[in-house]
């Protein structure tokens, strides 16, 4: 799909400059006692999963403006994910959304294998009604007042596990839109009890080597109360369900100014951090591209992850969750994956022994300066070298544009219609 000769030619044109930049950075880092090769190895070992739904143009509740050559189904989406991984070498897995991505598991497996991809956590969907659905989720799903509706939502989640098992996934992420729009509309306590009971039924069907992730979100689509509204509730859920239940932190699902890196540290302490949905935001759950608004916050999240990376049992599912409204989704996902990888490498650069020394002396100014020294380091040559060595592209977006991939697939993919809201 992306001609190997094109990648090679584009890399060849940039290789001498990269080598010079890499050597210069290596020399600078060596003066700080840092081995650049160790960092490049860490960059090469880092992966983040692509959300299948992110490959199509997203939208708001006002409108959706699709571009040319949008994927028409899961096989097209997997092709696009294959392109992103081919060019970045940093996105080896795809996270599926059911029922949007429903297909013959054997075909899914075959296609993924062909593209060198695997599958990350499965995502259930009980926040909208499907055409063949018997009972509506208008007033909730896993926490609905009606037992039969709850049961329908439970069965959907069990089906997601079944499909996931057939394609080699090992986790299920549950996010629900349940909540209320009016004070008094629902019993805050009984609604949560119903949710817990339903989650216990799903947990009972979880295979022994699987995990279930509880994803919280402060508001939307419910605007007065949300059943799983914050990390405290998510932690309660994970603790009540059992060892294989953990919390998933979506960076956009918090109140403004919440200290997310502290939540990360607390959940790791509790053995309950399961994974991330990376994105960025300015005002709310904006689903903007990772690292575009608050790159320092992304760095601080990774700073906690790196500081605590030797915590026994820590096994994180890194996934992107974004909505691309004004860009080519493939380009946004390429850049986002690189930005997440960048934050990881920058956090790996923190001089932890020195930082500990300043902490011990209560030297707040120098402790903060130690973090900033890592954050300010331009690690692009490390990321580019990791890509080059993996056979990916030194400059992935340039190669993607030169490849003409989007125009080519537009010939065989029927034009997608605009239509109404497309929040994902």
Q: Which residues form the interface with Mn ion (CB under 5 A)?
A: 250, 277, 321
Going by C-alpha positions, the residue among 81, 79, 76 that lies closest to residue 91 is: 81
Spell out the residues 6+ positions from residue 352 whose beta carbon is closer than 8 angstroms to its own. Answer: 307
How many whole angstroms separate alpha carbon 154 and alpha carbon 329? 32
CB of 175 to Mn ion, least distance (A): 6
CB of 371 to Mn ion, least distance (A): 27
For Mn ion, give the closer residue by CB, 285 or 328: 285
CB of 99 to Mn ion, least distance (A): 17
How many whole angstroms separate alpha carbon 345 and alpha carbon 348? 5
CB of 176 to Mn ion, least distance (A): 12
For Mn ion, give the closer residue by CB, 277 or 406: 277
Three-state SS string over the chain comes to CCCHHHHHHHHHHHHHHHHHHHHHHHHHHHHCCCCHHHHHHHHHHCCCEEEHHHHCECCCCCCCCCCCCCCCCHHHHHHHHHHHHHHHCCCCEEECECCCCCCCHHHHHHHHHHHCCEECCEECCCCCCCCCCCCCCCCCCCCCCCHHHHHHHHHHHHHHHHHHHHHCCCEEEECCCCEECCCCCCCHHHHHHHHHHHHHHHHHCCCCCCEEEEECCCCCCCCCEECCCCHHHHHHHHHHHCCCEEEEEECCCCCCCCCHHHHHHHHHHCCCEEEEEECECCCCCCCECCCCCCHHHHHHHHHHHHHCCCCCCCCCEEEECCCECCCCHHHHHHHHHHHHHHHHHHHHCCCHHHHHHHHHCCCHHHHHHHHHHHHHCCCHHHHHHHHHHCCCCCCHHHHHHHHCHHHHHHHHCCCCCCCCCCCC
For Mn ion, give the closer residue by CB, 10 or 321: 321
For Mn ion, give the closer residue by CB, 101 or 321: 321
What values do phi and psi take at 238, rounded to 5? -65, -40
Q: Which two tokens stand for residue 202?
A: 């799903």
CB of 253 to Mn ion, least distance (A): 7
CB of 321 to Mn ion, least distance (A): 4
For Mn ion, give the closer residue by CB, 277 or 387: 277
CB of 399 to Mn ion, least distance (A): 29
CB of 277 to Mn ion, least distance (A): 4
CB of 272 to Mn ion, least distance (A): 17
For Mn ion, give the closer residue by CB, 56 or 381: 56
Q: Which two tokens stand for residue 128?
A: 């909208």
For Mn ion, give the closer residue by CB, 277 or 342: 277
For Mn ion, give the closer residue by CB, 323 or 341: 323
CB of 363 to Mn ion, least distance (A): 38
């Amino acid at each position: 799909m992306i001609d190997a000769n094109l990648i090679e030619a584009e890399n060849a044109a940039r290789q001498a400059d990269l080598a010079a930049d890499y050597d210069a950075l290596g020399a600078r880092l060596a003066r700080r006692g840092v081995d650049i090769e160790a960092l490049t190895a860490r960059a090469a070992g880092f992966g983040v999963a692509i959300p299948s739904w992110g490959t199509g143009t997203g939208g708001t509740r006002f409108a959706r403006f699709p571009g040319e050559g949008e994927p028409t189904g899961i096989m097209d989406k997997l092709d696009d994910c294959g392109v992103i991984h081919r060019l970045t070498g940093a996105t080896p897995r795809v996270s599926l959304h059911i029922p949007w991505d429903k297909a013959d598991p054997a075909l899914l497996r075959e296609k993924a294998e062909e593209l060198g991809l695997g599958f990350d956590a499965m995502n259930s969907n009980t926040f909208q009604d499907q055409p063949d659905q018997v009972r509506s989720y208008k007033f909730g799903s896993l926490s609905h007042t009606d037992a039969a509706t709850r049961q329908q939502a439970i069965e959907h989640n069990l089906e997601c596990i079944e499909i996931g098992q057939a394609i080699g996934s090992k986790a299920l992420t549950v996010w629900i839109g349940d909540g209320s729009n009016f004070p008094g509309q629902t019993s805050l306590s009984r609604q949560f009890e119903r949710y817990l009971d339903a989650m216990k039924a799903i947990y009972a069907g979880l295979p022994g080597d699987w995990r279930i992730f509880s994803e919280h979100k402060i508001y939307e689509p419910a605007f007065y109360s949300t059943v799983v509204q914050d990390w405290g509730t998510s932690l309660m859920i994970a603790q009540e369900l059992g060892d294989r239940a953990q919390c998933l932190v979506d960076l956009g699902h918090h109140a403004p100014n919440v200290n997310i890196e502290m939540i990360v540290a607390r959940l790791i302490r509790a053995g309950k951090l399961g994974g991330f949905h990376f994105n960025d935001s300015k005002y709310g759950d904006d689903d903007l591209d990772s690292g575009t608004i608050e790159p320092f916050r992304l760095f601080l999240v990774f700073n906690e992850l790196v500081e605590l990376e030797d915590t026994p049992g820590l096994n994180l599912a890194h996934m992107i969750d974004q909505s691309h409204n004004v860009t080519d989704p493939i380009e946004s996902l390429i850049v986002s994956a690189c930005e997440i990888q960048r934050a990881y490498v920058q956090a790996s650069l923190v001089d932890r022994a020195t930082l500990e020394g300043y902490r011990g002396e209560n030297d707040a100014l120098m402790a903060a300066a130690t973090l900033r020294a890592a954050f300010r380091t331009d690690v692009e040559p490390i990321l580019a070298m990791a890509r080059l060595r993996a056979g990916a592209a030194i400059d992935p977006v340039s190669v993607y544009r030169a490849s003409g991939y989007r125009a080519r697939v537009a010939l065989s993919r029927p034009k997608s219609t605009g239509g109404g809201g497309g929040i994902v």
